[in-house]
Amino acid sequence: MQITEFLPTKASQSDLEQWRDVLNAMTAEDMPNEPRWTDDRLREYLSITMPGERRLAFVARDDDRRIIGHANLLLFGGEFADAGVFEIFVRPGQRGTGAGRGLLRAIAERAREEGRTTIGVEVIATTPAVGFYDRMGFNRAVVENRNLLALTEVDWDAVGDLSGRLAAGYRLEYYTGHLPDDLVERYAATKVHLKAEPAYNTGAWRGSADAQRLKDSLATLAARGMRSHLVVAIAEAKEMVVGLTELVVAAQRPTRGDQYDTVVAPEHRSYGLGMAMKARMLCELREAEPQLVDVQTWTAREGDPMEHVDAALGFRNDVQWYEYETDVAGLLRRLG
């Protein structure tokens, strides 16, 4: 077995297909009801990052040069320049061969070289990855509930009614892929409220809370093959953005929508804006993304303001997700 750095921009089509096959084999084994990945825009997905960020990738190959596992490490900039997040995937038939440990060592060594002091990883609670990271000495920092909404089970009449239940003086606007220039500053200012949410205090929120980063984020998503959908709540008296919700559909996994941030400015809560925005989003998706099978979202175990909204719309908790973290120096000592 050999572990080497992997450059998606220069990878052959065969290597990209093997990368996809490893991920799909793991998904079929550990999470059989999850959607499979496709090749569509896969190279862009693996290689393009936000300005100021970098993604490093590694592969484990067997003696026949076939990819049996892969990993990537995303290095942040700015206020999070001391940290990184990573993923590791190993073909089920190759578990126990040292591939996962070898990829983790490659990640940790490169993180140290890049001056990172901590790294983190997300893990689905029902998969063997939990035991792996427990054995490697990672700390379980955050536990979230993953909630799924099957679109075939949606009561569309009820959702349509909820999308129109707005208090007087508010309106909703829907955008896909971009925001009008005159809305960007107001939108970004509203996202800042997420940092104060109790549900986010247990982890490091890295959302786009300034205008330029927001523009960069939307452009980066599009370049990676990820379609953004945004619903914005406007207080008409001063044309203020007072709420927003975001959802992304990836070309590489087009049957599932990923709910991103949702927030309502504190002084405009209790007017049903969260419910109306998320219901409107579902109505728009029905037309804009007819291939969707389901939508996933995450809520904190305690204190999440969107929990009751998701439940009313039909989302159901199906599994917990763990966020693990560790200090790089300690991990390298444990790896030997």
Q: How many CB atoms lie within 10 A of CB 70?
A: 26
Distance CA 124, CA 107 (A): 20
Task: Please state the separation of Cα 98 from the chain's center in Å.
Answer: 28
Write down the pLDDT at residue 303.
Answer: 76
Give start and end residues of each alpha helix (H) in 177-210: 181-191
Predicted TM-score (pTM) of this structure:
0.93
Extents of the domains making up the chain? 2-146+322-335, 155-313
Distance CA 137, CA 322 (A): 14
Side chain identity at 234, as an amino acid letter?
A: I
Helix axes 181-191, 211-223, angle to 10 degrees: 100
CATH class of 155-313: alpha beta
Write down the pLDDT at residue 197.
Answer: 56
Fold of the domain spanning 2-146+322-335 = Aminopeptidase (3.40.630)
Distance CA 295, CA 149 (A): 5
Residue pLDDT tens, the chain, 336 long: 999 999 999 999 999 999 999 999 999 999 999 999 999 999 999 999 999 999 999 999 999 999 999 999 999 998 889 999 999 999 999 999 999 999 999 999 999 999 999 999 999 999 999 999 999 999 999 999 999 999 999 999 999 999 999 999 999 999 999 999 999 999 999 988 765 555 444 445 455 568 899 999 999 999 999 999 999 999 999 999 999 999 999 999 999 999 999 999 999 999 999 999 999 999 999 999 999 999 999 998 777 888 999 999 999 999 999 999 999 999 999 998
* DSSP β-ladder status, 83-90 and 67-75: antiparallel
CB 161 within 8 A of CB 129: no
Write down the pLDDT at residue 208.
Answer: 58
